[in-house]
Structure 1
């Protein structure tokens, strides 16, 4: 490992880690993103789609992380600093004491997802926790990738990665364009697009058998999907108790993905 001891919070080598909370909120223009925590660091090193640039950890974390850090390419520096220096650089207490910086690289094209049997499609999902949870669910139930419109949150936002349990680092995704264009591309590629909606006239999920290629389309919390998008797809609803028709968007995605996964395993609807 290339260990570099840091004692000064103004060390220029730590520039990617300065005030990470504010930079997350305002967006990064340099193609970098930050990973936080031991679990996501392990995923970044073991199966990530992205190139790691550096690691920044507290002194007390060096020995406990030795097995994970042994996976690092020799040219990747591990910056090690006292906890107070790390907190000063980040701009808030880094209780986990583990950060890493990676590069996004060239984004995937939509064609890279079209061979999948099941896709999760997110439209206007503006909450980072929901995006992260959606990725975790997609990974858990075997989706081949995630397609997001450009209004949805960046899955490589630090909190989204953490909530996804690292799935956002290895599950293929495309974040670009508009929902109406996505639907057309998916349908032309042979996908049956299920628009999740509380409409009473929509088909009930448990009565459906997934097609050979199925895309599950989710809209934002509150307003949900626009009628114009739903009308271009197969409207599907999750049966709920009388007088209640709404659940968290990531939970709705999990239920629909689990149904598709179960059907693919058992061969039944």
Structure 2
């Protein structure tokens, strides 16, 4: 491992890591920042995204050696003191690890669906604008073995730094694709043999009464406005019964409960 020493926060070699909070907000040109050891490991293991360069607290180099040596050949690893890293990032980076990643080319939803196994579990996200929720949804998808995540055009970018961090790197490992504006995801799912379930407080059946089919798609909408009426009329609606006077949960929390129920028949194939 060749650790490249950085002592100046204005060193041009680490320009990609400078003021990353602001850079994340203005656009990343098909690149993203991965933060922390767990997330870096997810990037190294990703089958689609790839690391371009890494910046670490030099004091952590020896402990991180096995992970850093798993990087593809030619990926530079820069080492700096904590104070210099904080100046580069623009805030205190207590995890002491940043990586610049190259996002994979976008692929059509139909292509991803065609690659799924005979037994498959898919998440469909509609207008998810909160990056914490996006990260939580991907984390739950990974935890319960979902095969793919489909995002509509209104949903936020899962490769936003905070989404990746909240997902503990699962955004980099769970296959996903984004729908084009106006693309009929329900029609695509039906054509691929999926039965689709929409989560709603007005659901016709309680979650516990649903017997998961071999190919299941679960639709989650933004908190507050929920799912459009079209989704509720064209799919089987499902509710999570709650105590009187309470009718909703955080969307990431709901997804964990629902995924756990739908994943039970699938665990044997993993």
Q: TM-score, normalised by structure 1?
A: 0.93
Give the conservation status (yes or no) of the 8 Å contact 1:209–1:263: no
* Aligned pair partner of 2:150 in 141, 147, 150: 147
Per the alignment, residue 48 of structure 2 pairs with 49
Per the alignment, residue 112 of structure 2 pairs with 112
How far off is 1:178 after superposition? 4.5
How far off is 1:107 after superposition? 1.5
- Three-state SS of the structure 2 residue aligned to 1:231 is helix
Deviation string, structure 1 residues 80-125 (Cα, Å, up to 9, x no partner): 1122221111111111110000100312221213425110111001
Q: 1:237 & 1:178 partners in 2: Cα distance?
A: 28
Deviation string, structure 1 residues 139-187 (Cα, Å, up to 9, x no partner): 1111101001121121111111111111111110012325761111111
Give the conservation status (yes or no) of the 8 Å contact 2:48–2:104: no
Per the alignment, residue 192 of structure 1 pairs with 195
Deviation string, structure 1 residues 19-74 (Cα, Å, up to 9, x no partner): 1111112221x211000001111222234521110000112221221121121223
Does 1:88 find its partner at 2:87?
A: yes
Question: Which deviates further from its counterpart, 216-225 or 154-163?
Answer: 154-163
How far off is 1:220 after superposition? 0.2
Does 1:214 find its partner at 2:216?
A: yes
Q: 2:258 & 2:211 partners in 1: Cα distance?
A: 11
Structure 1: gaps of 5 or more residues: none
Counterparts of 1:202-241 in structure 2, within 5 Å, are 202-241=204-243
Per the alignment, residue 71 of structure 1 pairs with 70
Give the conservation status (yes or no) of the 8 Å contact 2:108–2:178: no
4+ runs deviating over 6 angstroms: none
Give the conservation status (yes or no) of the 8 Å contact 1:2–1:76: no
Per the alignment, residue 38 of structure 2 pairs with 39
- Three-state SS of the structure 1 residue aligned to 2:122 is strand
Q: 2:267 & 2:70 partners in 1: Cα distance?
A: 35
How far off is 1:2 after superposition? 3.1
Q: 1:231 & 1:136 partners in 2: Cα distance?
A: 29
- Three-state SS of the structure 2 residue aligned to 1:53 is strand
Q: TM-score, normalised by structure 2?
A: 0.92
Structure 2: gaps of 5 or more residues: none
Per the alignment, residue 135 of structure 2 pairs with 132
Per the alignment, residue 22 of structure 1 pairs with 22
* Aligned pair partner of 2:256 in 249, 254, 257: 254
How far off is 1:256 after superposition? 1.2
How far off is 1:238 after superposition? 1.1
